[in-house]
A and B are shown apart, each in its own frame.
Chain A
Amino acid sequence: MIKSIKTWILVGFASLLLVACGQGGGGAGSKKSKTLDNTKKAGFVKCGVSQGLPGFSNADESGNWSGIDVDVCRAVAAAVLGDADKVKYTPLSAKERFTALTSGEIDVLARNTTWTLSRDADIGLTFVGVNFYDGQGFMVRKNSGINSVNDFKNGISACTNTGTTTELNMRDFFNSKNISYEPIAFEKADEVVAAYDAGRCDTYTTDKSGLAAQRTKMSNPDEHKVLPETISKEPLGPVVRQGDAVWEDIVRWSLNTMIEAEEYGVNSSNASSLKDSENPAIKRLVGSEGELGAAFGLDNDWSLRIIEQVGNYGESYKKHIADTGILPNRGPNQLWTKGGILYVPPAR
């Protein structure tokens, strides 16, 4: 804890210093990308992740990161450096994340971050897409007799994290229902779970995927349930610094490639064998047709490497979210062709 407080105060200072010393990204519209050059020079992608959210970005005992957010960074590394493992992960709290990105400490932020207007437009950030459609929900104790948000009454206490959109949604929700509530906002997810588990608050609110993941950390997971209502839209996606259009495109299309690959049935095991496919869209994906990589200053196999080394979106979802029991049902995170809302512009 003390470390995290120190870290973000340091980040505050770092922003003073780094913003001062760092060099401006390549101007918008130019073909040159300072971030791309620096990444190639360093030999790894600087990626900001969460401090541990199962399914999204979580480190195992030996420090290996995995999750669908982590896979975005791995895809960028595969595209740019040819090796998905060449990523340096920086765990960040909700509060530290944007400062770390704008100050240049990291180049890609893949940390279950909600895309909102003010974040996109106001503070020097650019969201490049959505890799998980989420929504905010509530968790309560099963024996509480609360079965819907309509059962909430005046005086209820709700725990959540500071510095997140959930804090704002929570207020909008309770205000719209005209319910007075006691908001208790902690800095780290672990403390929210501990306080809720102890009975300090009656409900715990955050993104539904987060609730599902955190429930596994409770002393007795079966005693808790997530209410059916979703009170907000939480499109989570990777973020880059404003002002480096080429880098922005690389990250955006690394994510899009994973989703498009699933759409065309290209996966990590069959990708290389599809080089001579009949379908031109597939041929473009595996790099045997067109010169798409040149647009970013990359070679033509960039997308093939992503699919081979990281896999398509469906593989990533299955491995990290479905098979871990967090959210077995893909819900809105299904391809548009299968009833979901995953729809990416064509790679051509």
Chain B
Amino acid sequence: MILKKFSIENKKARDLIPQVITVLALLSVIIYFATNAQINMGNRGISFGFGFLNQEASFDITFSMIEYDGSHSYGRAFLVGLLNTILVSVIGIFFATILGVIVGISRLSDNYLIAKVAEWYVEIFRNIPLILQIFFWYFAALRALPLPENGISFYDISFLTIKGWYVPKFIWTNLNIFLLSLIAAFIAIYFIKSYATKQREEFGKQIPTTFISLSTLILIPLITFLFLGVSLTFEYPVLKQLSPTVFTYAGGVSIIPELIALALALSMYTATFIAENVRAGILGVGKGQKEAAASIGLNKNQILKLVVMPQALRIIIPPTTNQYLNLTKNSSLAAAIAYPDIVLVFAGTALMQTGRAIEIISITMLTYLTLSISISIFMNWYNKKMAIKEK
């Protein structure tokens, strides 16, 4: 009886056995390498462990969104790098999406000039390796920008120079009250929208939600300024002389040129792929849909917004998710131009100073994996939301 259960003739067993063998083989290979690595590292006096994360890093980082200096730990330096990676990815994804959608739609424009410019843009920027584009934006743009004493001034409150883009710093009092009011405004808008939808569906009444939402978004935070003690002042950057010919700006916030160059290169490059996805999505919507929409009297913009785009999104989202993932991973090229992302700070400097290659590379790989999977999960959720709801 038992024999039969495990015999070749049993289909279940026949299907299962090769899989079990594969998993076992894979496991034993991993265990073999892991133990070997351990023995060899032991022989060479290299210890394995993550204790170094609590040690003092003793190196400084140009640009950090949280408080950091060399007296903080390697763990903190890791966090600084991670946040910088997330920052450039978010900025990159934001602009790549906007630019991609505009270019994608432009490629289908009836206007010959617009369509051609969009086509040229796509063909040029997607066919040049990203690393070269990063170098181009960094070194070419760097050379083109003026020294601080001749900085390009925007109304004397913001200055663009080779050392960075100096912008006014916001100094808030009672920032938390202001943020709470913003959240309140968004909640209010949500209820207004759902009320409007209900009214439209039940009574066919059109309520101008855009106008009402916008007013709410302005009015509620405005109240906090007038009555709840919220105030905002600006600290402007001021030119400062360091020596007869060396200048910089003091005060304000400096957006480093490395971040600008990297964000620019990443969004310009990724936007070309997103543009193609958008074009494919729009072309993928049946011609009959547009004709039907036109026949009930919708104008061109309404057709695009109400009929074509909702359907096109289903085609656009999955490949665009790939582009978001690519952009995030490509941000690791930051190391080339000294933007302190996780690869430069942690897998670079920290690895060098501690010599803990295996630990640091594993942490970095796991971090990218986590980032990518988070983006995937979010995009899959969005995709599901946009998918045809079968009732």
Contact between A5 and B335, CB atoms less than 8 A apart: yes
Q: Which of B44, B337, B351 contacts A95 (CB 8 A)?
A: B351
B59: contacting residue among A13, A144, A167, A181, CB under 8 A: A167
Is the pair A16, B37 in contact by a Cβ cutoff of 8 Å? yes
> Is A168 an interface position by the 8 A CB rule?
yes
Asked if A5 and B349 make an inter-chain contact with CB atoms under 8 angstroms apart, the answer reads no
Given contacts A24-B39, A200-B142, whether A16 and B243 have CB atoms under 8 Å apart is no
Among the interface residues B45, B336, B344, B361, which one has the most CB atoms of the partner chain A within 10 A? Answer: B45
Contacts of B62 in A (CB 8 A): 182-185
- The interface residues of chain B lying within 8 Å CB-to-CB of A11 are 357
Given A20-B37, A95-B348, A186-B338, A171 and B139 touching (CB < 8 A)?
no
Give 30 pairs: A residue, B residue, CB < 8 Å, sorted on A. A5-B335, A9-B347, A12-B357, A19-B41, A19-B358, A20-B36, A24-B39, A95-B351, A122-B355, A125-B355, A144-B244, A144-B245, A144-B246, A146-B243, A153-B242, A153-B243, A162-B352, A163-B349, A163-B352, A167-B60, A168-B59, A168-B353, A175-B70, A181-B60, A183-B62, A186-B338, A198-B162, A242-B45, A243-B43, A243-B45
By a beta-carbon cutoff of 8 Å, the part of chain A in contact with chain B is 1-2, 5, 9, 11-13, 15-17, 19-25, 94-95, 98-99, 102, 118-119, 122-125, 141, 143-146, 151-157, 162-164, 167-168, 170-171, 175, 181-187, 191, 194-195, 198-202, 241-243
In the complex, what residues of B have CB within 8 A of residue A181's CB?
A: 60
Mask, B337-379, CB within 8 Å of A = 1, is: 1101001100111011111111001000000000000000000
B60 surroundings in chain A (CB, below 8 A) = 167, 170-171, 181, 183
- Report whether B335 and A15 are in contact in the complex, using a CB–CB cutoff of 8 Å: no
Check A194–B131 contact: CB distance below 8 A.
no
Query: A-side binding surface: helix, strand, loop or mixed?
Result: mixed
Q: How far is the CA of A139 from the CA of B90 in the complex (A)?
A: 37
- CB-defined contacts of A242 to chain B, threshold 8 Å: 44-45
- B40 in contact with A24 (CB, 8 Å): yes
What residues of B have a CB within 8 angstroms of the CB of A168 in the complex? 58-59, 70, 353
- Bound together, the chains give a CA A199 to CA B294 distance in angstroms of 58
Decide: A241 and B357 in contact? CB cutoff 8 A.
Answer: no
Q: Inside 8 A of B40's CB, which chain A residues have their CB?
A: 19-20, 22-24
Q: What residues of A have a CB within 8 angstroms of the CB of B58 in the complex?
A: 168, 171
Using A153-B243, A187-B335 as known contacts, say yes or no to A24 and B357 having CB atoms under 8 A apart.
Answer: no
Q: Is the CB of A5 within 8 A of B336?
A: yes
Asked whether B220 is an interface residue with its Cβ less than 8 Å from the other chain, the reply is: no
- Nearest CB of chain B from residue A202's CB, rounded to whole Å: 5
Interface size on B, residues (CB 8 A): 58
Q: Which residues of B contact A243 (CB under 8 A)?
A: 43-45
User: With the chains together, A118 CA to B355 CA distance in Å?
Assistant: 10
Docked-complex contact B142 and A123, CB < 8 angstroms: no
Assembled-state Cα–Cα distance A152/B244 (Å)? 12
CA distance A252 to B356 in the complex (A): 26
Residues of B within 8 A of A (CB): 32-34, 36-37, 39-41, 43-46, 58-62, 70, 129, 131, 135, 139, 142-143, 147, 162-163, 240, 242-246, 248, 250, 257-258, 332-333, 335-338, 340, 343-344, 347-349, 351-358, 361
Give Cα distance in the complex from A162 to B347, angstroms: 11
Contact check: which of A141, A167, A195 meets B245 at CB < 8 Å? A141
A16: contacting residue among B33, B147, B347, B356, CB under 8 A: B33
Is A24's CB under 8 angstroms from B355's CB?
A: no
Are A99 and B357 interface neighbours, CB within 8 A?
yes
Tell which of B32, B41, B337 touches A191, judged by Cβ atoms closer than 8 Å. Answer: B337
The docked-state distance in angstroms from the alpha carbon of A94 to that of B343 is 15
Q: What 6 new A-B contacts, CB under 8 Å, besides A9-B361, A20-B33, A184-B338? A: A19-B40, A24-B43, A24-B44, A99-B357, A184-B62, A187-B336
Q: Could you tell me if B61 and A183 are in contact, using CB atoms closer than 8 angstroms?
A: yes
Note all chain A residues with C-beta closer than 8 A to B43: 24-25, 243
Q: Is the CB of A1 within 8 A of B131?
A: yes
Which residues on the B side are within 8 Å of A164 (C-beta)?
Answer: 352
A155 and B357 within 8 A (CB)? no
Given contact pairs A25-B44, A191-B336, A119 touches B355 in the complex (Cβ within 8 A): yes
Closest B residue by C-beta to A243: B44
Q: Which residues of B contact A122 (CB under 8 A)?
A: 354-355
A-B pairs, 6 with minimum CB distance:
A163-B352, A123-B355, A145-B244, A24-B43, A12-B361, A124-B46
Contact between chains at A195 and B135 (CB < 8 Å): no
A22 vs B46: C-alpha distance in the bound complex, in angstroms? 14
List of B residues within 8 angstroms of A186 by Cβ: 337-338
Complex-state Cα separation, A118 to B354, whole angstroms: 8
Q: Which residues of A contact B332 (CB under 8 A)?
A: 5
Cβ of A175: which chain B residues have Cβ within 8 Å of it? 70
Report the Cα distance A74→B328, complex, angstroms. 45
A141 to B240, CA, bound (A): 18
Closest to A18 in B: B40
Is there contact, CB below 8 Å, between A2 and B338?
no
CB pair B131 A157 closer than 8 Å: no
> Which residues of B have CB within 8 Å of A12?
347, 351, 357-358, 361
Q: How far is the CB of B125 from chain A (nearest CB, A)?
A: 17
Chain A, Cβ-Cβ closest to B250: A155
Q: How far is the CA of A22 from the CA of B357 in the complex (A)?
A: 16
Most buried by B among A24, A141, A170: A24
Q: Given A98-B355, A184-B62, A191-B338, are A156 and B246 also a contact pair (CB < 8 Å)?
A: yes
- B39 / chain A contacts, CB cutoff of 8 Å: 24
A200–B162 contact, CB under 8 A? Answer: yes
A201-B148 Cα distance, complex, nearest whole Å: 11
